[in-house]
Chains A and B, each alone.
Chain A
Amino acid sequence: MVTETPDATPAGSTASGEILRVSDLTLHHLVEDRLVIDGAFMSVDSGEVLGVMGESGSGKSALLFGIIRLLLREVEQRSGRIAYRGEDLMAKSNRQMEQLRGLEMAMIVPGGKFSLNPVETAGSQIVDVLRSHFPDRSKKDLADEAIEILRIIGIPDPDIRFRAYPHELSGGMAQRILIAKAMACSPQLLLGDEFTVGLDVTIQAQVMDHFHALLRERNTSLILTTSDLGIAATYCDTIAVIRRGQIVEYAPVLDFFANPQHSYSRLLLSAAREARAQQKMDEARVDVERDTSQDRRFVHEDLPAPPDLYTLVAPGHLVRLEDE
C-alpha cells in the first residue's frame, strides 16, 4: 500500500528532524555567464513547507533543479553542499541520484498536459515511475497501485483517468496527474515548481487544499516556489525570498508577513497589504483566525548562512545585508 510510509507520523504532532540542508549553493550559467543561484542555503524539516518566493528570472526554479541535481547542460555547479538526511548528495553518482529521485525526493513540475508524455496514457506514466523503482513487481500490481494513487490524489473516476491520454485531460486534472507522479513512491521531500500557475482559482484551491492535506497526513516536506503571496501565506511554514539568485530574507511565515525586513520583501508585501486591506471590507466573507499554535515548530536556529552577509533579526529570521 502506498499510503503506508514507514516514517509517517500523525499530522499535528511535532515530528521533526532536518531532512534537507543546503549551503553555499552556487550555479553558473555558462552561456549567459551569470550566477543563476548565488550562495543559496536552506534547512527543511520533516513535514515542513518552505515557500521560495521570487519573480520570474529570480532563479527559483533553477534552485529546485540544483537540489534534485538535474541541471541544464549549460549550467554548472560552482559550489555548494546538499545534504539529504545527512547524506551528501554531491558525492552520489548519476545512477544513485536516479534511484533517489522519485523514491526519496521528487519534483512536481508545472505545465499540466504539456508536462506529460503526449503519446502515453496518464496511468502508464505513473506505472513508469513505480516500475523504475520496483522493477520486480507485476504489471497488474503496479497498475492497481497507480489507480490507488490517482484516487488518493483526489481524482474522480481514477480507473477512467488511468486510461486517458494527456490531451483528453483538463488543465486541473493533468496537474493532479503530475502531483500523482511525484508522490507515487511516497518520497519524503517534494519540490514543487509553481505548479498551480495557470490553473483557475477555484481549481487551484481544490488542488492545493487536497495536496496540502496529503502532505500533512504523510508528514512529507515540500519546497514550493511561487510568486503568489496568497499561496505563500496559506500553505507555507517558512518563507525564503529570492532575488537575482540570492536569498534576501528567510523567515517563519508569521514573522515574515508581520515583520518583513528586506526592502525587496517589503515591496512584495506592500501590494499584498493593500489587497488585504480591501478584503477586510468584504463583509460577506467570514475570515477565521487560523490555528497557529503549530507553526512555531519550524523555527530554524542554525541556518547555514554566511554570517558576514546575513543578520539574524529574530529566531530563524535572517535578512541579507542590503547593498545600498
Chain B
Amino acid sequence: MTDEPLLQIRNLTKTFTVGKGQELVAVSNVSLDLREGETLGLVGESGSGKTTLGRVVLRLTEPDTGTVRFEGIDLLALAGEPMRRMRSKMQIVYQDPMLGFNPRMRVRDIISEPLRLHETLSRTELQKRVMEVLELADLDPRVLSERPGAIRKAEQQQVAIARAIATGPRFIVLDEPTGLLDLSVSIHIIGILRRLQEEQKIAYIFISHDLSAVRAISHRLAIMYLGQLVETGPIEDVFARPTHPYSEALLSSVLLPDPKTTRQRLRLSGEIPSPINLPPGCPLAPRCPLVEERCTGGPPPLVAIRGNGESGQPSWWSTCFPLSDNEENLDNWYAIMQEHESTETEELRAAIAAARTENEG
C-alpha cells in the first residue's frame, strides 16, 4: 500500500436547482479518503445525498466544486478517451440490477459487454474471462444462457457483480446492493463481496440504510445527514461509541433482535426536513435534543476524535458544536448524550400516560 489513498475526495459539492430559486444541496463540502482494498460504509436516511455522492465520485453526475483524485489523477480534469479508459477501473452496482441490464440480452452477453467495450480479447480469452468472473461471483454457469428476467433476484445481483468486476476494477460503488433482498440472501451476497475484496483488493463504497449489512462489510463508516458528512471513523469505533448526536440517534434506533433487552435511544423530534433551501448552521439543529443557540449560527466545527491520518485528515472525526466543548473529555460528552436518552419502555409509559390525560381531559 502506498501513502497516497486510492481515492481522494476533497470539498465535493453538488447542488441541484429545483424550480425558481430553490436550491437542493445534495452533497455539501464532502471530503473522504478510500484506500486500496478498503470498504467505506456510507449510511444516511432518504434524502441524505448518499446516492448522489456515489454518482458524483464516479462522475456519473458532474459536481459543482471539489476534487476527486483516483490513483493520483484528477478525475474531474479528464475528458473523452482518457475518462472512458478510466471507467473500466471504477464500476457501480445498483439496488435493482435489472435497471442496468438490457432485458433482451443473455447473461453471457451482459457480463462480457464491458470487456468488449474496454478490451480487445479473442473469443476464447473472452470466454475464459467470463468463466473466471462467474466463479468469483459464485454463479452457476447454467445462468449464462438465461435472460436476466428469468433468474432469481439474488442471481441478478450476482450477475451485476460479475459484470462490474469483469474489467478488473480497483473501485466499485455498491448502491444498496442488498436493499431488495431477504436476509439470508443478503448475507450470501455480502459474503461474495468480502471474498472478492480479499482476493482482488478492490475498494468499495458501500451505500446502504441497512446498518447490519454495513457493519458486516465495512472498515470505515461515514454518516451523512442532509448532504453533509456528520461523522467518519473506523467502523467498530463509530458503532461502539458514536460521537455525533445524529450518529447516536441513527445507531440507537436499530432494533435489537433480542426480546429480553431494550435499548436507550436518542430520539430526534419530528421528521427529516426538506433538503431545499436549508438554513445555515448544523443541519440537525431543528431536530437535535442537544441543540444550543450557536448550532443555528454557522457551520459546525470539525472535531477530531482520533489522531491525524497520513493525508492530513483525522481518522475519526465529527462535526458538532456542543461536542467541541468536550473534545478533551469524551466520557463527559457520552454522559451528556445519555441524559437525553430513553428506552422504548419508558417512552411507552409516557405515551400511555399522555393518552390517558387526553382521554380524561
Q: Assess whether B261 is in contact with A290, with CB atoms less than 8 Å apart.
A: yes
Minimum CB distance partner of B46 in chain A: A200
The stretch of B83-91, B136-144, B164-172, B235-243 that contacts the partner chain: B235-243
Contact partner, A254, options B256, B260, B337, Cβ 8 Å: B260
Q: Assess whether B236 is in contact with A281, with CB atoms less than 8 Å apart.
A: yes
Q: Assess whether A233 is in contact with B46, with CB atoms less than 8 Å apart.
A: no
Q: Let me know if A205 is at the binding interface, CB within 8 A.
A: yes
Task: Write the nearest CB–CB distance from A292 to chain B, whole angstroms.
Answer: 6
One digit per residue, 1 when the CB lies within 8 angstroms of any chain B CB and 0 when it does not, for chain A 222-247 equals 00000111111110100000000000
Give the chain A neighbours of B262 by CB distance below 8 A: 234, 287-290
Q: Let me know if B355 is at the binding interface, CB within 8 A.
A: yes
Give the chain A neighbours of B348 by CB distance below 8 A: 209, 212-213, 216
In chain A, positions 189-222 with a C-beta closer than 8 Å to chain B are: 200-206, 209-210, 212-214, 216-217
Bound form: Cα–Cα A171–B240 in Å: 29
Q: Assess whether A201 is in contact with B259, with CB atoms less than 8 Å apart.
A: no
Give the chain B neighbours of A172 by CB distance below 8 A: 271
Q: Let me know if A33 is at the binding interface, CB within 8 A.
A: no
Q: Assess whether A290 is in contact with B341, with CB atoms less than 8 Å apart.
A: no
Q: Assess whether B259 is in contact with A3, with CB atoms less than 8 Å apart.
A: no
Task: Write the nearest CB–CB distance from B283 to chain A, whole angstroms.
Answer: 14
Minimum CB distance partner of A170 in chain B: B271
User: Beyond A209-B348, A268-B183, is A288–B240 a contact (Cβ under 8 Å)?
Assistant: no
Q: Let me know if B255 is at the binding interface, CB within 8 A.
A: yes
Q: Assess whether B257 is in contact with A233, with CB atoms less than 8 Å apart.
A: yes
Interface size class of A (residues with CB under 8 A): 35 or more
Q: Assess whether B240 is in contact with A202, with CB atoms less than 8 Å apart.
A: no
Q: Let me know if A73 is at the binding interface, CB within 8 A.
A: no
Contact partner, A287, options B240, B264, B356, B359, Cβ 8 Å: B264
Interface size class of B (residues with CB under 8 A): 35 or more
Task: Write the nearest CB–CB distance from B177 to chain A, whole angstroms.
Answer: 17
Bound form: Cα–Cα A173–B265 in Å: 21
Bound form: Cα–Cα A279–B182 in Å: 21
Q: Let me know if A267 is at the binding interface, CB within 8 A.
A: yes
Q: Let me know if B344 is at the binding interface, CB within 8 A.
A: yes
Task: Write the nearest CB–CB distance from B189 to chain A, whole angstroms.
Answer: 13
Contact partner, B351, options A210, A231, A271, A283, Cβ 8 Å: A210
Q: Assess whether B263 is in contact with A288, with CB atoms less than 8 Å apart.
A: yes
Q: Let me know if A19 is at the binding interface, CB within 8 A.
A: no
Q: Let me know if A276 is at the binding interface, CB within 8 A.
A: yes
Task: Write the nearest CB–CB distance from A230 to chain B, whole angstroms.
Answer: 3
In chain A, positions 104-119 with a C-beta closer than 8 Å to chain B are: none
Give the chain A neighbours of B212 by CB distance below 8 A: 275
In chain B, positions 304-361 with a C-beta closer than 8 Å to chain A are: 334, 337-338, 341, 343-345, 347-348, 351-352, 355-356, 358-359
Q: Is the interface of A mostly helix, strand, loop or mixed?
A: helix
Contact partner, A257, options B184, B259, B352, Cβ 8 Å: B259
Q: Assess whether A284 is in contact with B263, with CB atoms less than 8 Å apart.
A: no
Bound form: Cα–Cα A201–B263 in Å: 14
Task: Write the nearest CB–CB distance from B221 to chain A, whole angstroms.
Answer: 13
Q: Assess whether A4 is in contact with B359, with CB atoms less than 8 Å apart.
A: yes
In chain B, positions 218-273 with a C-beta closer than 8 Å to chain A are: 236, 239-242, 248-265, 267-268, 270-272
Give the chain A neighbours of B250 by CB distance below 8 A: 201-202
Q: Assess whether A214 is in contact with B255, with CB atoms less than 8 Å apart.
A: no
Contact partner, A234, options B187, B211, B255, B341, Cβ 8 Å: B255
Given contacts A156-B270, A213-B355, A284-B241, 9 further A-B contacts (CB under 8 A): A152-B358, A170-B271, A200-B45, A204-B253, A271-B184, A275-B212, A282-B241, A282-B251, A283-B241
Q: Would you mind naming 27 contact pairs between A and B with Cβ atoms under 8 Å apart?
A: A3-B355, A3-B359, A55-B183, A173-B271, A200-B45, A201-B209, A202-B253, A206-B267, A209-B344, A229-B183, A234-B255, A234-B262, A257-B257, A257-B258, A257-B260, A267-B184, A268-B183, A278-B215, A278-B239, A283-B241, A284-B334, A285-B252, A287-B262, A288-B263, A288-B345, A290-B262, A292-B260
Chain A interface (Cβ < 8 Å from any Cβ of B): 1, 3-4, 11, 55-56, 152, 156, 170-173, 200-206, 209-210, 212-214, 216-217, 227-234, 236, 253-254, 257, 267-269, 271-273, 275-276, 278-279, 281-292, 295
